[in-house]
Chain A
């Protein structure tokens, strides 16, 4: 039996502020303890939070943490761990308190993160453990009472979309982020009784004094940050007798509304997130597509795979999926693009099955759009003639002008990324053709105003592939590969490298 170091402060103490676990699902506190000035987390909590296996390892002289075949061995004697054979240092070795084993919280970003599927980041100052591709924005509020106006300024970095709701006695900002890293909140001043940032949500609420008039809210966004300025005037009925600056109130109001009112003005919708995906099963109706020698038709295989993918994306990702057809009917190529554009989809995937003149040709291929000279010109001209229109609730909103049939011009870069992910994921499940990713002038992609790709999953003109294309196993494999690519692309959209 391995004897682990038992620290002198056998029970430890709880930290003054609990560490918060931030994931896409929300925020919740993590139980930690302080031992010898170091913060520790129990390994059984780590096991349940991250779905890892933990066992004491007498042979290795420590604790082994395993995840999907990858292993970390944390030493019981030395402040270090071996991560896939590479040593990382820790503030303290593994500790035992009672019957439970503890590791320093730095174990999570330093040792567990390298073997884990999702990023793990420890933010010490705001006491946050961020897991996954989570968008955390920093919010710094300030209140100034100068003259008859009281001004609240909320700096948000990086830039984020902010919806503003106002009604009697309050202003509520809802910030487009998964979590907020909130700076010190100033006390109520002047005509603002209280400012409170959302502990459990992504809102900032400002309670106004009973003497406050109608606040004016404006939003300014730069490439790095967003600033919301709330100017609160004195209500007209108080202006005659209270021309001087209003002193702060001694006590905050007893009740503080936290929910926004219905039907209040909002800023433009959220940024580049994967909220809606359009899946386009190729052909349909009288258009059979490619026909195999044994009678398999492309339109049916494409529809079968599309339905499987739709189920995966909807149930696992919670992403809204729109099909350009969900039965055997003819849909024009323009109608397919129109469905995607009118749905304000964030991603478009057209599913096809290929055909060749030689029966030996086999393998899957992925296409994204190749622009011709006109398409390139359209993209440049559109970028040069961008319009900026005022947005409801303050600020401005850029409007891109481009011909409908050249809509894809703006998205070719992201489409190439998506195509690459599709190829990589498909390759794990099914054979690929000799030219697995191609950039060609594919008609159905040209009018899609979002990242778009077309996959040919097999060749029906190949006897072996025709037989496989009808099988549930093959279709499930393809759908799984496509789903994996969509999952990766969602992460890319939300945390694109270099953006």
Chain B
């Protein structure tokens, strides 16, 4: 086999890999419709060296009363469940400057699954409740950051129910009703 032949085969393999990766992105709607807001935070991610998607995550804006929708790089994963876990893990991490995370520090993802009806269950560690600072405003931001992060980036998910420590919970901090699943709601999202 000639050297040219090796180059052709290599190029073909790369092309197939790129095509498959692109197709998976389309199928999973990883590049979701995002409001016209800042994407500055997408730069400089630690996952830039591995395949990733651009997902929309939600953080407290500068006014402390609304959510900012920020595009960030999230590791590429295979399938809705795996990609959903990656998105939530990223949402649980610290916020990029100058935003503030609305998820209490120490909160981890215990499980994530989706029913045939498109209801997703996000099971978080108890810190989401026990370490929550409280107040209706902050609690609403926490709930809708999680709900919107999942429903915005995974088109197959229609509603999100938040579980705490593997169980249904009344509220995170005494205000917002968690007993039923939430649909996507961007009324708290403020365009910078």
Contacts and interface: CB of A to CB of B under 8 A. Distances in A.
Nearest to A435: B65
A356 B177 contact: no
Nearest to B140: A440
A438 to B, nearest CB: 8
Interface stretch (B8-16, B37-45, B56-64, B112-120): B56-64
Given A333-B171, A361-B64, A442-B175, 12 more contacts: A289-B134, A290-B133, A354-B136, A355-B133, A355-B135, A356-B65, A356-B138, A357-B141, A358-B60, A441-B182, A446-B177, A460-B135
Interface of B: 60, 62-65, 100, 102, 133-138, 140-141, 170-171, 174-180, 182-183
B186 to A, nearest CB: 14
Interface string A337-371: 00000000000000011111111110001010000
Contact of B138 (A353, A355, A442, A444): A355
B157 to A, nearest CB: 16
A298 B134 contact: yes
B6 to A, nearest CB: 57
A405 B170 CA distance: 12
Interface of A: 282-283, 287-291, 298, 332-333, 352-361, 365, 367, 372-374, 405, 433-435, 440-444, 446, 454, 456, 459-461
Given A440-B140, A443-B170, A443-B175, A360 B134 contact: no
A442 B133 contact: no
Contacts, number: 100
Q: Which of B134, B176, B179 has the most CB of A within 10 A?
A: B134
B137 A356 contact: yes
Nearest to B143: A441
Contacts of B183: 372-373
Given A357-B64, A358-B62, A443-B171, A459 B135 contact: yes
B47 to A, nearest CB: 26
A367 B133 CA distance: 19
A435 B187 CA distance: 11
A361 B174 contact: no
B15 to A, nearest CB: 46
Q: Which of B63, B135, B171 has the most CB of A within 10 A?
A: B135
Nearest to B133: A355
Contacts of B62: 358
Contact of A456 (B60, B137, B178): B137
A356 B135 contact: yes
Contact of A443 (B65, B137, B177): B177
17 contacts: A282-B174, A283-B174, A289-B135, A352-B175, A354-B137, A355-B134, A355-B135, A355-B138, A357-B102, A361-B63, A372-B180, A434-B63, A440-B140, A442-B176, A443-B179, A459-B137, A461-B133
Q: Which of A291, A361, A373, A433 has the most CB of B within 10 A?
A: A361
Contacts of B176: 440-443
Contacts of A444: 174-175
Q: Which of A356, A435, A456 has the most CB of B within 10 A?
A: A356
